[in-house]
């Protein structure tokens, strides 16, 4: 999948209107808690603060695929991100990019992230020539400082643009210091714990799919292609053209 969206739009999920109406209430409550430095919260505490009963709150959050961690509760910043991404919050999400070669640098330069609420706050690479250079005003730091930088910037979202060989180690280090969402560009399957959201981008695979349909059309020119209606709609593999 090319899309970097973590989830389907709310309308596609069949979330009840009453739940949708409560999500901004939870979000406002979480904003206050995050500003007060609260890191995790139980469903009972959050329900109390939001003025709903805990069972209702758990049910509402289950529509987002969020169940919290038994005995720990919900990660306040992460839950805020999940709700915010569903209801289009204006919140700005800090992001770290690891691997500042051709791809990582192009991603760091991409202005479209800002308008979607993502701010690149840290860049990491092990190459001495790159360390200390800046990309869009953000200095490239030594990969050795990953843990310290993740802690300082409080990033929970990371982009991996390293060679395949180093990607799992980078991923493990990110997860170990609290990163909860990873967008992987390296051509390798990464393993993460179940609570971590991992998405993979594979442009080669997208081209292969296009080539497949091109080939089908060449074999049978009368057969309409996946986007023959000119809508750029989702084709049978679920990839938005
Ligand atoms: N998914 C896709 O569609 C897609 C498209 C293009 C490239 N890629 C992949 O993205 C990755 C980066 O591509 P590129 O063209 O920028 O490569 P590149 O060689 O230009 O850059 C790789 C960067 O990673 C750094 N690096 C090397 N080992 C590292 C490690 N262990 N930890 C952290 N950083 C490390 C290098 O110093 C370098 O700056 C490659 O794995 C490539 O295959 C994926």
Given ligand 1 and candidates 126, 130, 161, 201, which is best to mutate, with the most ligand atoms within 8 Å of its CB? Answer: 161
Q: What is the CA radius of gyration of the chain?
A: 20
Question: CB within 6 Å of ligand 1 — which residues?
Answer: 98-104, 125-127, 130, 143, 161-164, 166, 170, 185-187, 201-204
CB 118 within 8 A of CB 96: no
Q: Give per-residue pLDDT as tens, 123-146.
A: 999 999 999 999 999 999 999 999
Q: How far is CA 60 from the centre of its chain?
A: 21
CB 7 within 8 A of CB 44: no
Phi-psi region of 93 (alpha: psi -120 to 50; beta: other; left: phi over 0): beta
Assign domain 93-200 to a CATH class. alpha beta
Look at strands 134-135 and 40-41 and give their pairing.
Answer: unpaired
ipTM of the complex: 0.99
Domain extents in the chain: 10-87, 93-200
Q: Give per-residue pLDDT as tens, 138-195.
A: 999 999 999 999 999 999 999 999 999 999 999 999 999 999 999 999 999 999 999 9
Shortest CA distance to 110 belongs to which of 123, 120, 96, 125? 120
Bridge partner residues of 184 (DSSP): 160, 200
Q: Which residue has the higher pLDDT, 68 or 80?
A: 80
Q: Does domain 10-87 have CATH number 1.10.10.10?
A: yes
Q: What is the mean pLDDT of residues 204-230?
A: 76
Which ligand 1 atom sits nearest the alpha carbon of residue 184?
1
pTM for the whole structure: 0.67
Q: What is the mean pLDDT of residues 24-53?
A: 90
């Amino acid at each position: 999948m090319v899309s970097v969206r973590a989830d389907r739009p709310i309308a596609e999920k069949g979330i009840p209107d009453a739940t949708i109406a409560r999500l901004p209430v939870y979000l406002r409550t979480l904003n206050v808690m995050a500003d007060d430095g609260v890191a995790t919260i139980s469903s009972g505490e959050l329900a109390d603060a939001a003025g709903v009963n805990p069972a209702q709150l758990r049910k509402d959050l289950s529509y987002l695929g969020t169940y919290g961690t038994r005995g720990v509760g919900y990660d306040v910043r992460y839950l805020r991100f999940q709700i915010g991404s569903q209801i289009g919050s204006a919140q700005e999400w800090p992001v770290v990019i690891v691997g500042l070669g051709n791809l990582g640098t192009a991603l760091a330069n991409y202005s479209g992230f800002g308008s979607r609420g993502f701010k690149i706050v840290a860049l990491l690479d092990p190459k001495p020539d790159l360390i200390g250079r800046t990309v869009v005003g953000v200095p490239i730091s030594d990969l050795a400082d990953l843990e310290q930088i993740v802690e300082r910037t409080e990033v929970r979202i990371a982009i991996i643009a390293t060679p395949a060989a180093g990607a799992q180690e980078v991923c493990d280090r990110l997860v170990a210091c609290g990163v909860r969402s990873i967008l992987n560009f390296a051509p390798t399957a990464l393993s993460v714990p179940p609570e971590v959201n991992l998405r993979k981008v594979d442009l080669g695979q997208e081209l292969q799919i296009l080539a497949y349909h091109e080939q089908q059309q060449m074999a049978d020119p009368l057969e309409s292609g996946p986007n023959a209606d000119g809508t750029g709609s989702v084709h049978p593999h679920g990839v938005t053209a």
